[in-house]
Amino acid sequence: MGADGGYYVKSAEKTLAVLSSFTPEHPRLSVSSVAAATELSRAAARRFLLTLCDLGYLRCDGTLFELAPRSLDIGSAFLATLTLPSVAEPHLKALAAELGETTSLCVLDGLQVVYVARVTAPRLVHVSVQVGTRFPAWATSMGRVLIAALEPNEREAHLAAVELRQFTPHSVASLNELREEVELAGRRGWARVSDELEGGLRGVAVPVSRAGKVVAAANVSLQMHRDPDESVEETVVPQLRSAAEKITADLNVR
């Protein structure tokens, strides 16, 4: 299927583009900002925005628009029928309690990972990440595990589409370096990313499977001061793998 099919409704594409232009970084936008983000004319962007306001998906204070609570309806039906988060959550909670660290479950969506379950560590300061948050897959431990699990042609297509960015001085600097990290994740069955996406943070991830196919990645977020990188394989990975195996077992029973 594609945009060249006779069924394709361009107005539906434009409507979703307008909604998608609202992000955590840009939660309130003007007509001009939405027009620029969606490549619509200012007049067209205004019509879409006002229509979405009338339908209850957006609200406006006169000059700036933002998502309204009704916009949650778009994803709530998917989350309600998705068994993965409900199956994973008890095991993530147990793992978070064992390690005293934040645990998560992510799936791959295009070039991004999406958090579908998350249990935060009992500490006062933690990164503001919620269910639905997205990050570039290549820059995360979860993403590298999931990219490594793709079929070879899909994996190469994914890597070819990546746009590298130096989030920190430690972010991978070349496609060759990224490919080596992904291949390493595939060989050993787990991935570690240290200080690459955000300074002071480190993530470890392992795959979660259903019917023999990797469908998600379980992750533990670690503070850089906790354990040296060299010991993570002995101190964290076994417990993380155990939790992932329990999630996998429950998914296969379902």
Whether residues 137 and 35 share a domain: the answer is no
Whether residues 50 and 175 share a domain: the answer is no
Question: Are 13 and 21 within 8 A, CB to CB?
Answer: no
For residue 80, give both structure tokens: 């309600």
Dump pLDDT digits (tens) for 162-193.
888 888 788 888 889 999 999 999 999 999 98
Whether residues 60 and 92 share a domain: the answer is no
CATH assignment at residue 249: 3.30.450.40
Whether residues 238 and 165 share a domain: the answer is yes
CATH assignment at residue 21: 1.10.10.10
Q: Which domain holds residue 49?
A: 10-74
Q: Would the pTM count as exceeding 0.85?
A: no
> Which residue, 78, 73, 75, 133, is CA-closest to 106?
133
Question: Are 207 and 146 within 8 A, CB to CB?
Answer: yes
Residue 116 covered by a domain: yes
Dump pLDDT digits (tens) for 79-123.
665 678 888 999 999 999 888 888 999 999 889 999 898 888 765
Choosing from 74, 99, 114, the residue where a domain stops is 74
The enclosing H or E element of 202 equals strand 201-210
Choosing from 74, 101, 128, the residue where a domain stops is 74
Rounded CA-CA distance 211/249 in Å is 10
Q: Which residue blocks in the chain are alpha helix, DSSP H?
A: 10-20, 31-38, 42-55, 73-81, 83-99, 141-148, 152-161, 175-188, 229-235, 237-253
As a whole number, mean pLDDT of residues 32-44 equals 95
Count of the separate structural domains present in the chain:
2
Whether residues 123 and 149 share a domain: the answer is yes
Dump pLDDT digits (tens) for 49-61.
999 999 999 999 9
Rounded CA-CA distance 159/178 in Å is 8
Residue 50 covered by a domain: yes
Dump pLDDT digits (tens) for 205-237.
999 998 888 999 999 988 755 555 567 777 789
